[in-house]
Amino acid sequence: MDAAMIARVLWLRRVLRGRERWSRAQLQDHQQQELARLRHHATSRSPFYQRFHQGLQDRPLAELPVLTKATLLQHFDQLTTDPTLRLDDLEAYMAGLAGDERFAGRYWVSSTSGSSGRKAIIPSDAHEWAMILASYARANQWAGINAGLLHRVRMAVVSSTAPWHQSALRHVSATRRHGHA
């Protein structure tokens, strides 16, 4: 794992830990701001969301239509906010995945197991991937495992052998192996 990713994960872990002490009002305010930012991003960059939420931009989240995995996968290419992400390309990439190379040099790609009938494909950019790792590290801290650059901890992690599974992606296991999260 590169030094920039380690630094980003450690910083995000600290940010997330600080939020644990927020008041209910602070948390609700943050959630509303992030939801507004997310909804604006989705409706301004995704042709699918422009149609799916048409006329609903100011409605509460609970009043929006439910997006099922089947609908997500059926409309993936129109749903994504990055036009370089195409479901067929991601599936082909995952079928040939052998190491920790990123899709288009930018995305870590993982998948669900497909137990409901079809695998969901989840591309994550560097910020999103760092947030995933920081979230794992936060859960470890709750369990009393306080790993860091100056405090290495030995631990075992049970991971999948499927190269597309999130636990098998090298950056998750390498982070754990080196005690950096």
7-52 residue pLDDT tens: 899 999 999 999 999 999 999 999 999 999 999 999 999 999 999 9
pLDDT at 73: 92
Q: Where does residue 120 rank: exposed (0-12), middle (13-18), buried (19+ CB within 10 A)?
A: middle
Tens-place pLDDT, residues 51-105 = 999 999 889 989 999 999 899 999 999 999 999 999 999 999 998 887 778 999 9
CB atoms within 10 A of CB 88: 9
Is the pLDDT confidence value at 151 over 90?
no
Q: What is the pLDDT of residue 157?
A: 64
CA distance 83 to 101: 20
The rounded percent of the chain whose pLDDT value lies above 70 is 83
Superfamily of domain 3-178: ANL, N-terminal domain (3.40.50.12780)
Q: How far apart are CA 36 and CA 38, in angstroms?
A: 5
Our CA dihedral for 5, 11, 14, 15, rounded to 10 degrees, sits at: -110
Task: Supply the pTM of this predicted model.
Answer: 0.76
Task: Report H helices in the chain.
Answer: 3-19, 24-45, 47-52, 69-74, 76-79, 87-95, 126-142, 170-178
Per-residue pLDDT tens for 103-147? 999 999 988 888 888 888 999 999 999 999 899 888 888 878 777
Q: What burial letters (b/e) apply to 133-142, b meaning 16+ CB within 10 Å?
A: bbebbbebbe
So what's the pLDDT on residue 181?
45
